[in-house]
Amino acid sequence: MLKIKDNEFRDLVAFIHDNYGVDLHKKRALIEGRLGNYIPSLGYDNFGDYFKFAKNDKSGEELVTLLNRLTTNYTYFMREREHFDFYANSILPWIDKDLRTKDLRVWCAGCSTGQEPYTLALLTLEYLGAAASSWDHTILASDISDRALAVAKKGLYPKSDFKEMPAEWVKKYFASFDENQYSVNEKLKRSLAFRRFNLLDNFSFKKQFQTIFCRNVMIYFDIPTKNTLINKYYDWLVPGGYLLIGHSESLSGCTHRFRYVMPSVYQK
C-alpha cells in the first residue's frame, strides 16, 4: 500500500481543510488506508502527483472522488431513529399547530445518498395525510458530492438499507425493483429538492428554515469551522427552530447561542 510523505500529507490536509472544512490532520492512517491502493490503480506512484491530477481535473470529479473516499459514512433508512421520532412527534406538530404557515422549510444538509431526506419526506407525508396537497412540503436536501446526489435522485437502494423501516411504509412508499433493491416512488421523490452545496460557502436562501438536519457531518470539522457553521445555521433558523446533529457529535467546546433540548438536538 502506498505511503504518504510528510510534505504530501501537509499539502493534502491544508487543501481539504481550506476548501471543504474537513480536518484530517490526525487522519494519516485513514488517508493511506482509503487512497493507498486507489492511487496506484490510476497509474500514479506517489500522493503528490495524484493530488496535482485531482486539483487540475477541470471537471471537478476527481476532487469529489477524493473527498468521498476520505469522508463517506455508512447510512441507511431510519438511522438514529430517535431523531425521526422527535421530528414526527414534536417538530411537525410545532410547525403545523404553532407556526400555521402550511409552508414546510426543512433542510437536510449533508444528505449523502438520500436515505435521510427520503425518511423525513415520508414522515412528513404520514403526518400531513390528506392535507399534504394544501402544503408546500418540499424538503431541501444538499450535499457537496455530485455522485452522492446522483444516487439520491435515482432513488434505488439495497433492501438491506430498510432493516429499521416498518414494513407498511416500505410497501407504501417504495417498490421492489428486483430481488435485492427497492426504488422510491414518484410521490416521495417529488417531496425533495436536491442541490449541490458546500457548507463553507455563504448561505443564500429565500426564507429561514424551521429545522436543519446536519448529522454526522461536523465530525470532520475543527472547532473554528464548526463555530462558523453552527452560527450560520442559527441565523438561518426561525425563532424556535431546531438543529439536529449526529449522536456521535456535540456542540461541546463550540461558541453558540442554541438551547440544549436533548442529546444532539438544539433549539434557537
Tens of pLDDT along 51-64? 999 999 888 788 87
Q: What is the pLDDT of residue 76?
A: 81
Strand pairing of 192-196 and 265-267?
Answer: unpaired
The parts of the chain modelled with pLDDT lower than 50 are: none
Tell me: the pLDDT tens digits for 35-56? 999 999 999 999 999 999 999 9
Give the three-class secondary structure for 223.
helix
Q: What is the pLDDT of residue 22?
A: 83
Neighbouring C-alpha atoms within 13 Å toward the C-beta of 182: 21
Q: What is the pLDDT of residue 129?
A: 97
Q: What is the pLDDT of residue 252?
A: 87
Domains of the chain, start order: 6-71 (1.10.155), 81-267 (3.40.50.150)
Q: What is the pLDDT of residue 142?
A: 97
Q: What is the pLDDT of residue 72?
A: 64
Q: What is the pLDDT of residue 182?
A: 96
Measure the N-to-C terminal CA separation of the chain; round to a whole number of Å: 47
The answer to whether 113 touches 101, Cβ cutoff 8 Å, is no
Q: What is the pLDDT of residue 74?
A: 65
Q: What is the pLDDT of residue 73?
A: 61
